[in-house]
């Protein structure tokens, strides 16, 4: 497989030849050649906006290419829709979840292709198959559970189960592990190996580079809509991927220096948060964060990181303790009042909690700071435009402009919009829950550099992560959460093994 080849590889079940796709002035794909190998895992690497998701949407019939050809089993094909591609054995797990939250797990898995008998839908058989899929994925989820009642990682499992239920011969996985725990990732990898052993072809897209190296057979790198490199798994390593993605060796930065921390900006005192069953998911946690300080919260799925941050931001009610912001007890304040005082949250689930899908990029960016360009009932279009343009520039959002639909952006650039939206409020404390979810290594570096710059100006930053490498980047302090409590505190000189041990995660030699 090479960038210049025009004939499919000998073992290619599906090939893209000279595929181009444009959205207005944005050229998402520029003559890409790509092969999916029979019974193998082909991993597609690239920064946000490189064209990965667009290429996969073309190959799965979601969108039509502007030009180029798709070859399936040696013959040219044109997919009328995603259903047409699915009928030909091609399924895709999208990066952004496409579940119906008000429907149960069973109905989401079989939505649009219900199992019917002469008397109607066979709900019992659907439930049996859904339960079997959950068992294969080692997830104890009742098929009749509403999707909206599941945590994000479990919703991702349901999305994966829906794709597996089709028995496809080509399965495209676009960021399938972005919300999964380490244990769930291991289970998914076992499922992938079982599928390839049966001849199923997998296309795997992930920003978790080290993780992807464990599962790949072939690697392809896209950059700015063009294939820049491809190789067998035995010939690549992490440095090869990063070099071809971003042009040089890359790191996520280091703790900013040269400025003194200011007074305590946020004080969390003996905080507890209970779940619906009354169990303390945050258990008597205390934490002080000073102006100009960057604090990283590390923990496994279920450690209580998200619940702690959402409680501080006002989205979840505390069951005990105090939250003090700049010397003021704020536990009774609304989310809007906390934002107005300078305390903001970038949520983990950008689609559900961070963006308005019917709005443009610009309107999403300006939504949280609308008061800064409003005069009574009149909005200043020029002030709003200046704010939007400045935010797009500062956060490095790849977009066709403020008037572009938010859905036209890649997942990582949508995440940058959420971060940019909160930074436009000029906060004093910013909480970021898994800010790197769905963001490539280059975008991570941009976001972390931005946070480091703002910390040097006095912004207090608290970010959570489930990636150990991110702990060792810009944080002045690393706190490890385990079962709702802080189990350890480290400085920048800590090792990955020490962090993982404090979290309860098994360290693999």
Task: Locate 334 and state its tokens.
Answer: 């609304």
Name the H helices within 75-117: 82-87, 105-109
Report DSSP state, residue 413. H
Give the pLDDT of residue 378.
65
Q: Is the pLDDT of residue 250 over 70?
A: no
273 CB-side CA count, 13 A: 27
C-alpha distances (whole Å) from 270 to each of 318, 321, 323, 502 are 10, 5, 9, 21
Long-range contacts, 498-503 (Cβ 8 Å, 24+): 499/298, 499/468, 499/471, 500/468, 503/298, 503/299, 503/300, 503/303
pLDDT digits (tens, 9 = 90+) for 286-342: 999 999 999 999 987 678 899 999 999 999 999 999 999 999 999 999 999 999 999
Round the average pLDDT of the chain to a whole number and report it.
86
- Structure confidence by residue, pLDDT tens digits, 439-478: 777 777 888 888 999 999 999 999 998 777 788 889 999 9
Q: What is the mean pLDDT of residues 346-375?
A: 79
**Are the C-beta atoms of residues 412 and 47 closer than 8 Å to each other?**
yes
Q: Would you say 32 and 70 are in contact if contact means Cβ atoms under 8 Å apart? A: no
Write out the H or E segment, with its range, that includes residue 127. helix 123-136
pLDDT confidence of residue 6: 44
Chain segment 143-166, per-residue pLDDT in tens: 999 998 887 778 888 888 888 888
Token pair of 100 as six digits: 């119906």
Does residue 445 contact residue 250 with C-beta atoms inside 8 Å? yes
Cα–Cα distance for residue pair 426/441, rounded to 1 Å: 26
Report how far residue 131's alpha carbon sits from residue 280's, in angstroms, rounded to the nearest whole number. Answer: 29
Higher pLDDT, 182 or 52: 52
DSSP 126-186: HHHHHHHHHHHTT----TTSBGGGS-HHHHHHHHHHHHHTTT-SEEEEESTTTT--HHHHH
CA dist 449 and 443 (Å) reads: 10
Lowest mean pLDDT among 2-16, 110-124, 263-277: 2-16
pLDDT for 5 equals 41
Whether residue 357 has pLDDT greater than 70: yes
Structure tokens at 28: 């998402």
State the DSSP code for 360: B
pTM: 0.61
Q: Which of 245, 416, 250, 296 is nearest to 346 (CA)?
A: 416
Give Cα separations from 66 to 20, 58, 63, 218 (angstroms). Answer: 5, 10, 9, 27
Q: Is the pLDDT of residue 142 over 90?
A: yes
Helix (H, G, I), strand (E, B) or coil at 71: strand
pLDDT tier at 42, thresholds 50, 70, 90: very high
Backbone CA torsion sign across 432, 54, 252, 468: positive
Asked whether residue 509 carries a pLDDT value surpassing 50, the answer given is no
| pLDDT for 376 | 63
Q: In a 3-state reduction of DSSP, which class is residue 155? A: helix
**Counting beta carbons within 10 angstroms of the beta carbon of residue 321, is it exposed (0 to 12), middle (13 to 18) or buried (19 or more)?**
middle
pLDDT tens profile 63-97: 999 999 999 999 999 999 988 998 899 988 876 67
Please give the Cα distance from 14 to 242 (Å, whole number).
26
Neighbour-count burial for 115-127, b at 16+ CB within 10 Å, e otherwise = eeeeeeeeeeebb
């Amino acid at each position: 497989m090479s960038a210049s080849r025009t004939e499919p590889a000998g073992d290619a079940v599906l090939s893209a030849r000279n595929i181009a796709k444009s959205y207005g002035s944005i050229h998402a794909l520029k003559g890409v050649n790509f092969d999916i190998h029979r019974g193998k895992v082909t991993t597609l690497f690239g920064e946000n906006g490189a064209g990965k998701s667009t290429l996969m949407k073309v190959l799965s019939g979601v969108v039509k290419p502007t030009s180029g050809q798709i070859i399936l089993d040696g013959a040219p094909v044109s997919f009328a829709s995603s259903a047409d591609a699915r009928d030909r054995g091609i399924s895709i797990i999208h990066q952004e979840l496409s579940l119906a939250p008000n429907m149960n797990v069973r109905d989401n898995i079989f939505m649009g292709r219900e199992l019917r008998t002469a008397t109607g839908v066979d709900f019992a058989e659907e439930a049996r198959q859904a339960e079997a899929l959950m068992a294969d994925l080692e997830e104890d989820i009742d098929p009749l559970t509403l999707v909206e009642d599941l945590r994000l990682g479990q919703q991702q499992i349901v999305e994966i189960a829906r794709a597996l239920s089709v028995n496809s011969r080509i399965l495209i996985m676009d960021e399938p592990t972005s919300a999964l725990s380490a244990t769930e990732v291991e289970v998914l990898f076992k499922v992938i190996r079982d599928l390839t052993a049966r001849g199923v072809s997998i296309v795997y897209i992930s920003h978790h580079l080290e993780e992807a190296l464990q599962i790949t057979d072939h690697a392809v790198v896209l950059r700015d809509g063009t294939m820049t490199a491809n190789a067998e798994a035995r010939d690549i390593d992490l440095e090869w991927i990063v070099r071809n993605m971003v042009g040089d060796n890359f790191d996520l930065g280091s703790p900013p220096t040269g400025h003194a921390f200011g007074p305590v900006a946020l004080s969390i005192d003996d905080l507890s948060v209970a779940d619906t069953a009354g169990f303390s998911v945050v258990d008597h946690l205390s934490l002080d964060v000073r102006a100009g300080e960057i604090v990283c919260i590390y923990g496994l799925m279920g450690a209580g990181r998200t619940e702690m941050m959402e409680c501080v931001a006002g989205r979840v009610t505390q069951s005990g303790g105090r939250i003090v912001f700049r010397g003021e007890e704020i536990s009774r304040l609304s989310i809007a009042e906390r934002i107005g005082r300078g305390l903001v949250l970038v949520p983990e689930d950008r689609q559900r909690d961070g963006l308005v899908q019917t709005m443009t990029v610009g309107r999403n960016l300006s939504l949280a700071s609308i008061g800064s360009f409003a005069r009574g009932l009149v909005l200043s279009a020029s002030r709003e435009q200046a704010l939007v343009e400045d935010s797009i520039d500062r956060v490095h959002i790849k977009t066709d402009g403020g008037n572009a639909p938010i859905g036209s952006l890649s997942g990582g650039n949508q995440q940058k919009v959420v971060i940019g939206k909160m930074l436009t409020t000029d906060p004093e404390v910013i909480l970021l829950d898994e800010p790197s979810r769905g963001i490539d290594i280059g975008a991570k570096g941009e976001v972390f550099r931005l946070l480091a710059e703002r910390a040097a100006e006095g912004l207090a930053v608290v970010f959570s992560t489930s990636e150990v490498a991110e702990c060792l980047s810009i944080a002045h302090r690393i706190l490890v959460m385990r079962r709702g409590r802080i189990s350890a505190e480290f400085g920048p000189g800590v090792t990955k093994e020490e962090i993982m041990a404090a979290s309860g995660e098994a360290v693999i030699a």
